[in-house]
């Protein structure tokens, strides 16, 4: 079955440590996204990538970094520069379409809940 | 940049109809999507409007007015399982997808 896998489901880290969240998809999607969700809040875009070896900053990129070396993988590193990293992180992917008449929906992974103390 | 406004919470009884409004400000607008998220789960896609008008999918319908930068999601014949958060999302140039803050819908018996 095709889908998006995020691992691990729960992650605990000490303050000052960098941590990398994994996101793998076997849907053959071109575009991949990282969102952050805080309790009772919406999804805020961290980074997104339309093709391999290319990515763009979203609305809250500070303190995060990404890479897109393979089509299937889009890991997110939460660096020690991120002031408040504890959150629920969601990875998503979609077929990259630029037309307006139709849309390819985002497929989300089950998320990683990161706690930094 | 993009910004979206939607109500934070709506409460209704089973069988009722609920309308969730979404107003947006964006440059390079392509379309408006709606997603549902149950507590602790991942968002799932409900609908997408690129053109003005109403799109109907079963009990859920979505409407868009591009001139008013406004859309809504209509939930009909509410069921207990519809208790969830609902997000509108704007698709802009470069496939950038920005979400609103979400509307928590609570369905009571």
**What is the per-residue pLDDT across A62-110, written as a single tens digit (0 to 9) for each?**
999 999 999 999 999 999 888 899 999 999 999 876 555 457 789 999 9
- Which candidate, B78, B73, B79, B80, places its Cα nearest to that of B57? B73
CA distance A27 to chain B (A): 16
Share of chain A above pLDDT 90, in %: 82
Q: For chain A, state the CA radius of gyration.
A: 14
- Arithmetic mean of pLDDT over chain A: 91
Predicted local confidence at residue A97, as pLDDT: 60
Rounded to whole angstroms, the Cα distance separating A26 from B5 reads 34
- In terms of CA atoms, which chain B residue is nearest residue A106? B45
Residue A33 has pLDDT above 90, yes or no: yes
Residues of B in contact with A43 (CB under 8 A): 43, 87, 99
B54 vs A: CB within 8 A = no
Longest dimension (CA), chain A: 47
Residue pair A3/A69 in contact by the 8 Å Cβ criterion: no
Pair of tokens at residue A43: 């999804």
Q: Which residues of B touch A32 (CB under 8 A)?
A: none
* Neighbour tally for B53: CB within 10 Å: 10
* Closest Cα in chain A to B104: A40
* pLDDT for res A78: 96
What is the structure's pLDDT at B27?
83
| Chains A, B: CB pairs < 8 Å | 64
B51 three-class SS: coil
Question: Residue A103 and residue B96: Cβ atoms within 8 Å?
Answer: no
Of B41, B50, B97, the CB nearest to A106: B97
- Selected for mutation to probe chain B from A36, A38, A41, A42 (highest B CB count within 10 Å) is A42
Confidence at residue B108, expressed as pLDDT on a 0 to 100 scale = 96
| Whole-number Å distance between alpha carbons of B5 and B9 | 12
In the prediction, which pLDDT does B51 show?
92
């Amino acid at each position: 079955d095709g889908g998006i896998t995020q691992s691990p489901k729960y992650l605990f880290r000490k303050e000052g440590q960098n941590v990398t969240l994994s996101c793998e998809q076997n849907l053959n999607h071109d575009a991949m996204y990282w969102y952050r969700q805080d309790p009772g809040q919406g999804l805020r875009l961290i980074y997104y990538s339309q093709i391999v070896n290319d990515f763009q900053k979203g609305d809250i990129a500070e303190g995060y970094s990404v890479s897109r070396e393979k089509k299937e993988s889009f890991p997110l590193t939460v660096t020690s520069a991120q002031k408040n990293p504890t959150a629920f992180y969601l990875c998503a992917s979609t077929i990259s379409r630029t037309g307006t008449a139709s849309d390819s929906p985002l497929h989300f992974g089950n998320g990683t809940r990161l706690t930094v103390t | 940049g993009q910004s979206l406004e939607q109500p934070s919470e709506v409460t209704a009884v089973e069988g009722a109809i609920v309308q969730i409004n979404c107003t947006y400000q964006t440059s390079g607008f392509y379309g408006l999507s709606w997603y549902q998220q149950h507590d602790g789960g991942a968002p799932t896609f409900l609908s997408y409007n690129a053109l003005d008008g109403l799109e109907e999918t079963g009990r859920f319908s979505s409407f868009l007015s591009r001139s008013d930068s406004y859309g809504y999601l209509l939930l009909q014949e509410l069921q207990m399982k519809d208790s969830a958060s609902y997000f509108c999302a704007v698709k802009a140039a470069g496939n950038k997808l920005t979400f609103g803050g979400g509307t928590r819908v609570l369905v009571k018996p």
